[in-house]
Structure formats: structure tokens, C-alpha cells
Amino acid sequence: MALRSLPPRVGAASSRVAPVTTGAASGFSRTDGLSAAARGYDGAWRRLRLQVLAAEPLCRNCAEAGRVTAATEVHHLERFNGLHDPKRLDPRNCAPICRRCHVRESQRQATGRG
């Protein structure tokens, strides 16, 4: 049995892999070009997020529907406007939810239905 030669080396993956996008279907469409920190999701937000998830580790929306799902995201109940808006770091304005619920809630907010 003869050895067959291996195919040529694979080229750069970047030319064949679709770029990561945050399109409208994801609920997290970004066209402003701002970083997460510039949009208000800085170190202070990350600390608050961890506190919220530690205090309430299950998805609040799923629990209301009778499901038990781990919370992996923290959702602002009311949108905040800029880094100095008190709603940004107010734990009463935050809800621990799962990824699925977060996408749904963010889409609802973006379309003005919630």
C-alpha cells in the first residue's frame, strides 16, 4: 500500500471563516463603533454584574414561567443614557437572566415594545 501525499497546507482561516458580527438578529446590533467600556460596560459594571448574578443565580424571566435556568447575563430593565446615568449601576434596574431571555428582552427594548 503506497502512502498518499497530504493535501497542501490549509491557507489562512480568516479568508474562509465568516467574520463575527452582532447583527440585528442577535439583538445586539452595534453600529456606533464604541467599545463596551465607552457604552457603559466598564469595570464598575462588571463588578455589579457579578454581584447581581451571585445574589440571584437563576434567570428571573424563566422562573416566572416555571422554568429553572441559570442566569448568565444581567439585563438593564430601563435603558440608561451614558456613563453618568444613575440607572447604569443601580442594582434595582438589573435583572439576572439567561442568554435566550436577554436576546429577547434586548430586541423588545430596541423595537420599543418593552
pLDDT tens by residue, 35-51: 999 999 999 999 999 99
The pLDDT-based confidence of 18 (bands split at 50, 70, 90) is very low
**Distance of alpha carbon 110 from the chain centroid:** 14
Classify strands 94-97 and 73-76 as parallel, antiparallel or unpaired.
Answer: antiparallel
Region for 112 from its dihedrals, namely left if φ exceeds 0, alpha if ψ lies in -120 to 50, beta otherwise: left
Q: What is the mean pLDDT of residues 62-66?
A: 96
- Domain assignment of residue 49, yes or no: yes
Name the residue among 35, 21, 28, 23 with its Cα closest to residue 110.
28
Domain containing 68: what range?
Answer: 39-103
- Domain assignment of residue 62, yes or no: yes
Residue ranges of alpha helices (H) inside 28-113 are 43-55, 60-64, 99-110
Task: Tell me which of 34 and 11 has the higher pLDDT.
Answer: 34
CA dihedral 60, 99, 111, 31 (to 10 degrees): 140
Provide the whole-model pTM.
Answer: 0.69
- Domain assignment of residue 94, yes or no: yes
- Domain assignment of residue 1, yes or no: no
Q: Quick one: pLDDT at residue 26?
A: 47
> In total, how many domains does the chain have?
1
CA distance 61 to 106: 13
